[in-house]
Amino acid sequence: MTSLLRSIIWVLRLGVELTSRSVLLIYFLLVYFIVEKPRWRSVASHQVHLGTGQRTGLWCIFAIAQGRRISQNLIAFLSCLKAAGYNVILVNNGRLSPSLISSFLPHCHSVIERPHGGRDFGGYKWGTNVLLNMQHENNEIAQVIYCNDSNFIRPSHFKWLLDNLKQMDEDYIGVTDSFDPSYHVQSWFFVTSGELFRSPAFQRYWQGYTPLSYRPHCIKKGEIGISAYLSKQGYSPRPLYTQAQILDLIARGTVAEAVGRTIFGLNPDYYRNVAATMQGMASSAGAESDIALSFLKRDLMETIGLSNTMNTTNLILLKYTGFPFLKKDLVYRGNYLFSQIEIATADWAGEDADHLPEIFAYFRARGTLRGQRSPAAILARMGLV
By the 10 Å C-beta count (0-12 exposed, 13-18 middle, 19+ buried), 6 is classed as: exposed
**Is the sign of the CA dihedral 376, 381, 384, 385 positive or negative?**
positive
Residue 78 to residue 140: CA distance in whole angstroms: 21
Closest CA to 263 of 347, 329, 337: 337
Give 92's strand partners: 64, 113
Q: Does one domain contain both 316 and 168?
A: no
Residue 3: the pLDDT is: 58
Task: State pLDDT tens for residues 365-374.
Answer: 988 877 777 7
Q: Does one domain contain both 228 and 201?
A: yes
Q: Does one domain contain both 251 and 236?
A: no
Q: Does one domain contain both 232 and 95?
A: yes
Judge whether residue 169 has pLDDT over 60: yes
Judge whether residue 39 has pLDDT over 60: yes
CB 51 within 8 A of CB 109: yes
Task: State pLDDT tens for residues 44-80.
Answer: 778 999 999 999 999 999 999 998 899 999 999 999 9
Residue 134: the pLDDT is: 84
Q: Does one domain contain both 132 and 153?
A: yes
Mean of the per-residue pLDDT values of the chain = 88
Q: Does one domain contain both 317 and 334?
A: yes
Residue 210 to residue 218: CA distance in whole angstroms: 9
Residue environment code for 257-276, b if the CB has 16+ CB neighbours within 10 A, otherwise e: ebbebbeebbbeebeeebee
Task: State pLDDT tens for residues 315-364.
Answer: 999 999 999 999 999 998 878 889 999 999 999 999 999 999 999 999 99
CB 351 within 8 A of CB 157: no
The domain that holds 185 is classified in CATH as 3.90.550
253 vs 124, higher pLDDT: 124
Q: Say what percent of the chain tops pLDDT 70.
A: 89
Residue 139 to residue 59: CA distance in whole angstroms: 12
Judge whether residue 1 has pLDDT over 50: no
Expressed as residue numbers, the domain containing 253 is 244-382
State the DSSP string of 75-96.
HHHHHHHHHTT-EEEEEEES--
Total count of domains within the chain: 2
Residue 10: the pLDDT is: 47
Give 6's DSSP letter. H
By the 10 Å C-beta count (0-12 exposed, 13-18 middle, 19+ buried), 376 is classed as: exposed
